[in-house]
Amino acid sequence: MRVETPFNPLDKRNLGTSVADALLARPRSALPPEEKFIASGVYAIYYQGQFDLYRPIAVANLSTADRDVPIYVGKAVPPGARKGGLGLEAVPGTSLHDRLCKHAESIRQANNLALADFFCRFLAVDDIWIPLGESLLIEMFSPLWNVVVEGFGNHDPGKGRHQGKRSAWDVIHPGRPWSEKLQPGKSRQIVVDSVRSFLSKSAR
């Protein structure tokens, strides 16, 4: 005899799903959003431009499909969260808007991308659920810039700290001034081949 598993609304996967569904129900927004706002939370960035390597993603986001395909998913936590100073009533500040602005600047600096070809969705989330929501969104969509072309969210490591290797994102989208100071990373051909392989499997 079959035993039905009872639904647990507090199961971490169900909680994460509720955050993800709420984000995906949000309207498209320019990247970055024009009006500054106070919030921390999760976000998804989408591409619909002419960069040939990303054509499958662009086509999906230009179509009338029910669900857009994010190229990147991320989170913005309240100030102090990364240092362990996060309380139950942490003040979010403008961390979510600031994070989207930083991503927009990275795209502006890339010599083969146009910011007008991107849009985003974002959702203000209570701080305790932000990491869970981000993790589930990455699991749901396997966004290209999260799992293959890594490094989009990287920051300038600072003066005297450029011994690290250039990220896959900076290899394929050169232009961020600080990335040019890093050591050579993977060859462009290796990154391109990885993208093509990943997108071909995703289309099946």
CB 18 within 8 A of CB 110: no
Cα 21 to Cα 198: distance, rounded to the nearest angstrom: 25
Q: What is the pTM of this model?
A: 0.89
Alpha helices in the chain (DSSP H): 12-24, 55-62, 95-109, 130-141, 144-147, 168-172, 188-202
How many Cβ atoms from other residues are within 10 Å of residue 116's Cβ?
11
In the sheet where 41-47 sits, what is the strand order?
Answer: 29-30, 118-124, 41-47, 70-76
pLDDT of residue 8: 61
- Is residue 113 within 8 Å of 57, Cβ to Cβ? no
Q: What is the pLDDT along the chain (204 residues), one digit of tens a residue?
A: 766 665 666 677 777 788 888 998 999 999 999 999 999 999 999 999 999 999 999 999 987 656 789 999 999 998 765 554 445 566 778 999 999 999 999 999 999 999 999 999 999 998 888 888 899 899 989 999 999 999 999 988 776 556 788 999 999 999 999 998 889 889 999 999 999 999 998 765
Nearest to 119 by CA among 166, 57, 169: 57
Counting beta carbons within 10 angstroms of the beta carbon of residue 98, is it exposed (0 to 12), middle (13 to 18) or buried (19 or more)? middle
Structural domains of the chain, ranges and CATH numbers in brackets: 12-147 (3.40.1440.10)
